[in-house]
Amino acid sequence: MKAIILAGGEGKRLRSVVNDIPKPMAPINKKPFLEYLILQLKKQNVKDVIISIGYKGGIIKDYFQNGDNWDINIEYSEEGKSLGTGGALRKAGELIDGKQFIAMNGDSFFDIESKQLIAFHEKKQAVATLGLAYVETIERYGQVEIGNDGEITKFVEKGNSVSSGYINGGIYILTSELINKIPLGQVSLETEVFPDLINKGLFGVKFKSFFVDIGKPEEYQRICKEPVRLYSYCSEG
């Protein structure tokens, strides 16, 4: 199964703590954050990876090249202009040749086994299955509500609650059929594509696993202080 990593983010909020580079290339203990995602996929035996690049994407291509140094195969999908997460996924999806695939946000790390998501996705014959991360305070993220059968029923906008709960963890199993249903142009997966799939085959699986979103400067600084957590979650053996 192939995986798409959405790595086109500019990272404006990180400018105060990192140089002017693509957000997924923000360094953590001398490695770009994106490398930890590559290692996570490799550990789970995903060897074909498509990286969707946008802002200063040449930096990503120069670093990872064709993936030989990581013993995986890497292809690139170039946005050209900013397409948002949905538009970038649609374009990268042109390189998908199977019935389903993994998609990941390039600015978050979520320690889950993709095979668990895949099994649930196939059991439910879902269109899209999201890994949902438990956080102590959902105010900064927005909450995802699901029914007893795992079907997602509602997305609650961030800022509407300070309680704990489950959020979009940035790892998805998607059917290839979804790609052509995404409108052309700049589209958001989180605020347009997924909400439109409610009652149309959208499911979620809850996990209480390590999660970090480096798009938030305070989270980036936190993980920089304890990089051993990333090493431990994606190291082999």
3-state secondary structure 135-162: ECCCCCCCEEEECCCCEEEEEECCCCCC
DSSP at 13 = G
Domains of the chain: 3-131+170-234 (3.90.550.10)
For residue 236, pLDDT beyond 90:
no
Whats the size of the chain, residue-wise?
237
188, 84 contact by CB (below 8 A): yes
Lowest mean pLDDT among 8-17, 78-87, 165-174, 208-217: 8-17
Amino acid identity for residue 184 in this structure: L
Q: Which pLDDT score, from 0 to 100, does residue 100 have? A: 96
Task: With CA atoms as reference, report the closest residue to 95 among 34, 49, 130.
Answer: 49
Q: Which pLDDT score, from 0 to 100, does residue 208 have? A: 93
For residue 237, pLDDT beyond 60:
no
Q: Which pLDDT score, from 0 to 100, does residue 140 have? A: 78
Q: Which pLDDT score, from 0 to 100, does residue 218 have? A: 84
Give one DSSP letter per residue of 166-187, joined into a string: EEEEEEEEEEGGGGGGSPSSS-
Q: What is the rounded average pLDDT of the residues 214-218? A: 84
The total of other beta-carbon atoms located within 10 Å of residue 167's CB is 22
The total of other beta-carbon atoms located within 10 Å of residue 119's CB is 14
